[in-house]
Structure 1
Amino acid sequence: MVNRFVKSALSALSAAVLLSNVASAEEYLNGIKWEPPAIVTPGETDDQPPSDAVILFDGSDLNEWKNGENWDVRDGVAFSGKGQIVSKQEFGDCQLHIEWSAPLPVKGSGQGRGNSGVFLMGRYEIQVLDSYDNETYHDGQAGAIYKQTPPAVNVMRKPGEWNTYDIFWTAPRFAEDGSLESPAYITAVHNGVLILNHFELKGDTPYNRPPRYTKHGEKGPIALQDHGNPVRFRNIWVREFKPATGTQEREPFIKDGEKETPVGE
């Protein structure tokens, strides 16, 4: 009985010491007062937009697009038509979700098969192409930043099936004199697979000259290319991205109970 009592008392003492040590443990504090992150409700499924998304196409019409009247919308799907369509709204740093399908029956080969493109800020293209069992130059296949880099892997679904791009875009920044302060970066997921990881763009994405940066606004439109192939699109939405913000109210420090020690001392 005595031994049991002693063991119980020792256990309680050990727990008290442990709690005391935890309470007085050193803690690093960065001195930043963070603003609370905005509350966003996610879509009920992965393909549904979150509550703060800008809906560019929900299957009903192309009223959010310039030249949208020259593309057909049937059964909730937009078909590439005459000329590119350009979003009326403009975006800088953003998250873009878009679903697309290469046409059936299959026609053509190489760049002539299911060709279109998604242009960030109207000038930086991630390629849309039927790259299922279809050889072409690698920096021009589906998921490529056109003429700059191929995707890391080819995860193209069969023609007629739906592909999904989830694109995370960091816009370039320019100084007042037109010089480049920081380049554009893109991360892209194709059908749930990472294909571009924070790739640094060398500039715009033309066919007939090297890429280059030319000063433009902080925001630009999303454009979808018409390349003469009846590529289908659906479920297009964009989220403007704003990083967390806070105020550096004091220098970082270590807190140990009531004692505060600036980092570095």
Structure 2
Amino acid sequence: MLATLMIAGINIVQAQDAKPEDTEVYTPVPKVVSTPELTIAPPSDAIILFDGKNLDQWVMTDDRSKPAAWTVANKVFTVNKKSGNIETKESFGNYQLHLEWRVPANITGKGQGRGNSGLFLASIGKGDAGYELQILDSYKNDTYTNGQAASIYKQFVPLANPTRKPGEWNSYDVIWTAPTFNDDKTVKTPARVTVLFNGVLVQDNTTLLGPTQYIGAPAYRQAHGPAPIKLQSHGDPSEPLSFRNIWIRNL
């Protein structure tokens, strides 16, 4: 059914009057499951991207000469809604990534305006360019299902919804296989991703259709190699998200 919807979306977006709503999917609705808090300490060969002390491993996306301007306090860092996206100094190909995130207990808003951010598995340009794993408060918060937490945004619905309630920590464990390209810049092998959300499998070796597109169908429009990992400052009015315990292993 999802494949049919995506094909329909691809047909729709050829029109000049394409809208964001054209690629929003509302069914199937992933089953809600309950999980305990899950935190995993970094293994011995991990690169520590955030250790609770500083953002020395991060820079501003739109000007990589500037240090990341998000706020660090009490061993977590918090989105700065006014500063823009941040991304890692280092670029990565295939990897295993662990990241923990939390929305405030007093969060307000609804739908996409409730704790919205994004984990871009490969940042391939300024702004929101790249491959987005959605971060959103999806605890009793209705929205289009290919835009809820742990969706491959505007592409693939998660297999389940294990989002913990506001004020509690969530975790993503990601296995990323980067796309490869032929000498003529056409796609040789598309990107693939496996995601465990609070320990629950929600993306199972999913083959991506291309980088994230807010309007229109995703497609591989440019060749690239290893890329930084990016976190999004979405700028919605609800209270900002916090992050902790981020580490990565090259594969």
Query: TM bucket by the smaller chain?
Result: 0.7 to 0.9
Partner of 2:94: 93
Q: What amino acid maps onto 2:94 in structure 1?
A: D
Instruction: Identify the structure with the greater strand proportion.
Output: 1
Match of 1:116 in 2: 117
1:25-76 Cα shifts (integer Å, max 9, x gaps): xxxxxxxxxxxxxxxxxxxx96111111111101100011003542100100
Paired position in structure 1 for 2:213: 206
CA distance in structure 2 between the aligned counterparts of 1:204 and 1:177, rounded to whole angstroms: 19
Return closer, same or farther for 1:166/1:217 CA change in 2, 3 Å cut-off: same
Amino acid at match of 1:171: A
Partner of 2:3: none
Q: CA RMSD in A?
A: 1.3
CA–CA distance in structure 2, aligned partners of residues 188 and 210 of structure 1: 22
After TM superposition, give the deviation of residue 121 of structure 1 in Å.
Answer: 1.2
Verify: 1:232 aligned to 2:239, yes or no.
no
How many residue pairs match? The answer is: 197
Is residue 52 of structure 2 the alignment partner of residue 59 of structure 1? yes
Kindly indicate whether the alpha-carbon contact (under 8 Å) linking 2:39 and 2:171 is maintained by their aligned counterparts in 1: no
Residue type of the partner of 1:52?
D
Give the letter for the 1:118 counterpart.
L
Bigger Rg, structure 1 or 2: 1
Give deviations 1:174-215, integer Å, cap 9, x for gaps.
001011001000000000110110000000112112101133
Aligned partner of 2:221: which letter? T
Q: TM-score, normalised by structure 1?
A: 0.72
The answer to whether the Cα contact below 8 Å between 1:98 and 1:165 also exists between their aligned partners in 2 is: yes
In structure 2, C-alpha distance between the alignment counterparts of 1:170 and 1:99, rounded to whole Å: 21
Aligned to 1:194: 201
Quick check: 2:186–2:223 contact (8 Å CA) kept in 1?
A: no
**AA matched with 1:85:** I
Percent identity of equivalent pairs: 49
State the match for 1:13 in structure 2: none
Segments of structure 2 that go 5 or more residues without pairing to the other structure are 1-37, 61-66, 124-129
Q: Are 2:151 and 2:158, in contact at CA under 8 Å, matched by a contact in 1?
A: yes
Q: How does 1:33-112 map to 2 (within 5 A)?
A: 47-67=40-60, 68-81=67-80, 82-112=83-113
**Alpha-carbon distance in structure 2 between the residues aligned to 1:90 and 1:180:** 20
Taking structure 2 as the reference length, what is the TM-score of the superposition?
0.76
Alpha-carbon contact 1:114-1:230 (below 8 Å) kept:
yes
Distance in 1 (CA, whole Å) between partners of 2:216 and 2:96 is 28
Q: Which moved more, 1:65-74 or 1:106-115?
A: 65-74
- Is the CA contact 1:132–1:156 (under 8 Å) kept in the aligned structure 2? yes
Report if aligned partners of 2:105, 2:168 keep a CA contact under 8 Å in 1: no
Moved more, 56-65 or 215-224: 215-224
Local SS of the residue matching 1:111 = helix
Task: State whether residues 117 and 136 of structure 2, in contact with CA within 8 Å, keep that contact through their aligned partners in structure 1.
Answer: yes
Show the counterpart of 2:6.
Answer: none
- The residue type equivalent to 2:74 in the other structure is D
User: Which residue identity lines up with residue 110 of structure 1 in the other structure?
Assistant: G
Instruction: Give secondary structure in 1 for the equivalent of 2:213.
Output: coil
Q: 1:138 to 1:89 in 2, by over 3 A?
A: same
Q: Residue by residue, what CA displacement relative to the aligned partner does 1:9-33 show, whole Å, maximum 9, x if unpaired?
A: xxxxxxxxxxxxxxxxxxxxxxxxx
| Residue type at the aligned position of 1:216 | A
SS in 1 for 2:137: coil
Secondary structure in structure 2 of the residue aligned to 1:139: helix
What is the rounded CA distance, in whole Å, between the counterparts of 1:133 and 1:139 in structure 2? 16
Contact 1:174 1:215 in 2 (8 A): no
